[in-house]
Amino acid sequence: MFNAITSLFKQLLDGQDLSQQKQSPNLAIACLLSEVAGADHQIDDKEQQAKLTLLQRLLGLEAQEANALIDSADEQIRRSASLYDFTSQLRELTQETRFELIKAMWEVAHADGEIDPLEDAVIRKAAELLYVDHSQFIRAKLMVTNGK
């Protein structure tokens, strides 16, 4: 977090226009999935595999491309200050696509068999920032936890 703030101030001092810094939607999606996996500070192999599988399914990527995207996402997360950095890139997605993203985040969180309260909080905040209704947030969670 401190590094992200330091980086932000350095960019401001260097005169960079921060509002023009955009990342690809695919990278933003990978960042959100990685944020959930790392929320409880324990990324287990099942969560790592879930991220890989979901990126392949959601974005139509090959395994090697998905792995490279996850590596880029992990680096981006270290430089980021908040979820807003990622969700702001995804607001133009359709409501259905945003729902599928929230569902995918639940799948990553539940990959190890339990949902940590910190993972729940990350998904809840992402859903709010993406303007996903609370009822859809709960529906996605139930679909994942009930195996539907």
Are residues 104 and 33 in contact, defined by beta-carbon separation less than 8 angstroms? yes
> CA 63 to CA 84: how far, in whole Å?
27
* Domain residue extents for the chain: 24-146
Are residues 101 and 58 in contact, defined by beta-carbon separation less than 8 angstroms? yes
Tens-digit pLDDT profile for residues 12-28: 455 444 443 446 899 99
Residue 117 or 2, more confident: 117
> CA 17 to CA 24: how far, in whole Å?
17
User: What confidence score (pLDDT) does residue 70 get?
Assistant: 93
Tens-digit pLDDT profile for residues 86-126: 998 898 889 999 999 999 999 999 998 889 999 999 999 99
Domain 24-146 has CATH 1.10.3720.10: no
Reduced 3-state DSSP string for 98-146: HHHHHHHHHHHHHCCCCCCHHHHHHHHHHHHHCCCCHHHHHHHHHHHHC
- How many other β-carbons are positioned within 10 Å of the β-carbon of residue 111? 22
Tens-digit pLDDT profile for residues 51-94: 999 999 989 989 999 999 999 999 998 888 888 889 988 988 89
Burial class of 56 by CB neighbour count within 10 A (0 to 12, 13 to 18, 19+): middle
